Structure 1
């Protein structure tokens, strides 16, 4: 590991020790969603999942990346787990961060004061058969605007408003954004227990579980085992993320786990394993 990666790992450990929780995305809102894949006629992507119409159940985790207290703006995470997306019994994970849509800003995390006020992008490019492209979730219309970024307030807002929809798109630097699907966030958590934070307590304080119970994706300590997003291990067979951010993410999250005494994910450290496991 080079000096820069050691510094990133040390920073992840220091932040985890300071807050007594994960260094990044310490709390999140777990929600149900659906994804409708809507291929464009006559314009195949060369990726089986994107070129075949379908409807999938999705687990979403909305989170504040740095864990800054509201009302301070923070980069927001939108982690997606598409059930059976990579085949029967095999999920497809995407990690998206609030960003811009320009050639440069699609690669940069941007703080946000409105959870549906702009795009979320993978930041790193994905390897399509013909070229590399960034994947993004772009709000569909203005119906979702004005969503609070405080997780408890966001949970309440999602129960009082129509579902929030995002167009899932992809684009290379010199291409316009091309949609391939529609993500609709319904606001109900997996298991029917209401929206949950990563700590396992509902924003209103009435949900099941206690601190550290691991009710959300990426949380730890649940009797059923942790559910963590892995965009590298849980990717589509013909659509994989590029290596641009992989080593930096690995270093930051390894430092965070080490500071908390948390176990590494299964397969960590093995070629083709879950080195890219992240605590989104």
Structure 2
């Protein structure tokens, strides 16, 4: 993981502000309203040219913690920037945290967070990654054969109780089409205490070949640091130890 650091005073100021806001909110600073579930990720492998990331390029199966959330949050089914967080638990004990937000599927929209009403849709990384010299965007796309997730966290939970909702994982370059690399399914909910304890680090919890890049990478790093500090959480806090769906 490599993040180009800003001037140290700016980084410290952002982290301290995030910590203060998190303590004022008494919970998560980012995406406070959400539901977490036990899940499983199946990687099929990357079609076409490899990405250089072994976890994406080679078939595998990973126990996964899934969290769907609202960003602001707005009431009920009002439009909001929706979030999807995945923690893939590797055999080596090292997690891969992938955080994606509701966005458009087209290249010009894939790095813009876009409010929407429904939880079924496209979620993509706002900042891009680098693998060697390659620039990569990751996404979770709607599976047309999966149950609809509806417009609220309550309907998401109901869908998970009656079925095993699925999302399709994909990778793309800045202007290329999405290439499908795997599938995420989820079902059994985690309790409120488990959800509250869960903390993600989308900058440091990455496969060794992947690093966060882009002008907002350092800001995201410091913001998540401050939010975790306010909650007394660590970069690897929480995550389901239950069996997969």
When normalised by structure 2's length, the TM-score is: 0.80
2: distance between equivalents of 1:11 and 1:54?
A: 36
Contact 1:36 1:56 (8 Å CA) reproduced: yes
**Runs (5+) with no aligned partner, structure 1:** 190-194, 201-213, 221-226, 267-273
Contact 1:73 1:112 in 2 (8 A): yes
DSSP-derived class of the 2:203 partner:
coil
Whose relative contact order is higher, 1 or 2, with alpha carbons under 8 Å and at least 6 apart? 2
Q: Secondary structure at the match of 1:105?
A: coil
Determine if contact 1:76/1:115 at 8 Å carries over to the other structure: yes
Counterpart residue number, 1:120: 123
Q: Which is strand-richer, 1 or 2?
A: 2
1:8-66: CA deviations, max 9, x gaps? 9647745762x443222113211122211112466322222222111111110111111
CA drift at 1:180: 1.1
Distance 1:63 1:232, change over 3 A: same
Residue from 37, 43, 55 that aligns with 2:43: 37
Q: CA deviation at 1:253?
A: 4.1
| Residues 1-280 of structure 1 aligned to structure 2 (within 5 Å) | 6=13, 10=17, 13-14=20-21, 17=24, 19-40=25-46, 43-84=49-90, 87-116=91-120, 118-141=121-144, 143-145=146-148, 147-160=149-162, 162-185=163-186, 187-189=187-189, 195-196=190-191, 200=192, 214-216=193-195, 219-220=196-197, 227-253=198-224, 256=227, 260=230, 262-263=231-232, 265=234
Contact 1:115 1:149 in 2 (8 A): yes
Q: Which has the higher helix share?
A: 2
Backbone CA RMSD of aligned residues: 2.9
Cα pair 2:34 2:68 within 8 Å, conserved: yes
* Structure 2 contact 46–58 (Cα < 8 Å) conserved: no
Q: Greater Rg, structure 1 or structure 2?
A: 1
Total equivalences in the alignment: 230
- What TM-score results when the alignment is normalised by the length of structure 1? 0.71
2:147–2:159 Cα contact (<8 Å) kept: no
